[in-house]
Amino acid sequence: MKFAVLINEGPYQHQASDSAYLFCRAAIAAGHQVTRVFFYHDGVYNAIKFAEPPQDDRNIVKRWSKLAEEHGVDLVVCVAAGLRRGVKEEVLAPGFRISGLGQLIEAGIEADRLVTFGD
């Protein structure tokens, strides 16, 4: 099964990012494909390479980058939501890219399921 994922919440303000990441890992481990993760609204904060959580805390940004590197998951940051929040190409962590809402629509059409995390 092909999954696309939409994340609407930031990495440390809500459980949505962690839940989405764990969902993606579980889906891939079960033999499914995660074609794209689209970061929208405050979800764009998941892509900022300058995030430095305490050493004893999880680093969700690095987790996403590693998932993209190891499994070819397309990590897309909404350009409009990003610009509203100061998230531009130069602040993106490895594996992330900026694009428009058309990428979310395309992911929803091409995937068997579009799973949303966060409000």
Question: Which residues participate in catalysis according to the annotation?
Answer: 78
Return the bridge partners of 114, or none: 4
Q: How far apart are CA 18 and CA 21, in angstroms?
A: 5
The CA–CA distances, whole Å, from 40 to 17, 62, 111 equal 12, 18, 18
